[in-house]
Amino acid sequence: MTVAVFLAILCLRAALAAPRPDYSLDAEWEEWKRNNAKTYSPEEEKQRRAVWEENVKMIKWHTMQNGLWMNNFTIEMNEFGDMTGEEMRMMTDSSALTLRNGKHIQKRNVKIPKTLDWRDTGCVAPVRSQGGCGACWAFSVAASIESQLFKKTGKLIPLSVQNLIDCTVTYGNNDCSGGKPYTAFQYVKNNGGLEAEATYPYEAKLRHCRYRPERSVVKIARFFVVPRNEEALMQALVTYGPIAVAIDGSHASFKRYRGGIYHEPKCRSNIINHGVLLVGYGYEGRESDGRKYWLIKNSHGEGWGMNGYMKIARGRNNDCGIATYALYPIV
């Protein structure tokens, strides 16, 4: 057998082994690309189309399970439809999240309402999008400080996530590859301030630190770590306001969440990799039904989930690690 014939056979085998597109999905694929402003080179389109089709199958399977009452939440095709599981994991924090010593001030005789939504008070800023930068940790920290600033001054000022990305590298954070909310809070406290989004806008990539003290709009006096249980988390949320938390957000069902109370069987309470803001809690149906949830604000834009928010199962053994890593500042 000549080399040319041998190579031809290999090419034929590769072509036969390559997944063929499902042509019945052509119109849906083109519509999805238009709606999400996606453009590719010819070779990249083949690869992205294959990933997208696998995600379509996964969503259809989940929807079928919903029909059999196997799930309590829905997922949908969104802007992340052409991303692999590994690419989506890169959008979450790659750094291991650990806490140092911190003391939460637990007050006595706190009245706990049946439901709570801090958005109703006006202290939660609009949802933003981190894009392809794994800076959820910075969005979570900035959002919690925004809420505390509003509670103190009545002014809701979007704070600079970019300031945190650029200036906490020396604290051990890894900019768009992950970071620790604890050290971000340390930076703001030690630095004596944080700029606003208006003066230090988000660029979704690491730049050199350009913080200017005269442009600082907020300082934090101290910050606290909440004990790792849902009861303490609820009391802190009621007493102090929105809280920066971290969860296991590494699953495909999380990235494509649409609505309902999220409960992913694969979620781990000891593996946390995505920073979000806890803004409330409640229940669906009758309180006795046990369909209780935590309400979180994500940083994937308003097109994700419930206009940028998600309900996570509450009272189910620290589901997805909601109470594992929780902090709040005092301004």
Catalytic residues: 136, 274, 298
Residue 295, strand partner residues: 280, 311
Q: At which residue do the structure tokens 């949908």 appear? A: 76
Q: Kindly give, in sequence order, each residue whose CB lies less than 8 Å from that of residue 19, ignoring residues fewer than 6 positions away.
A: 50, 53
Within 10 Å of residue 6's Cβ, how many Cβ atoms? 10
For residue 246, which of 269, 230, 263 has the smallest C-alpha distance? 269
Q: At which residue do the structure tokens 């989930």 appear? A: 305
**10/14 Cα distance (integer angstroms):** 6
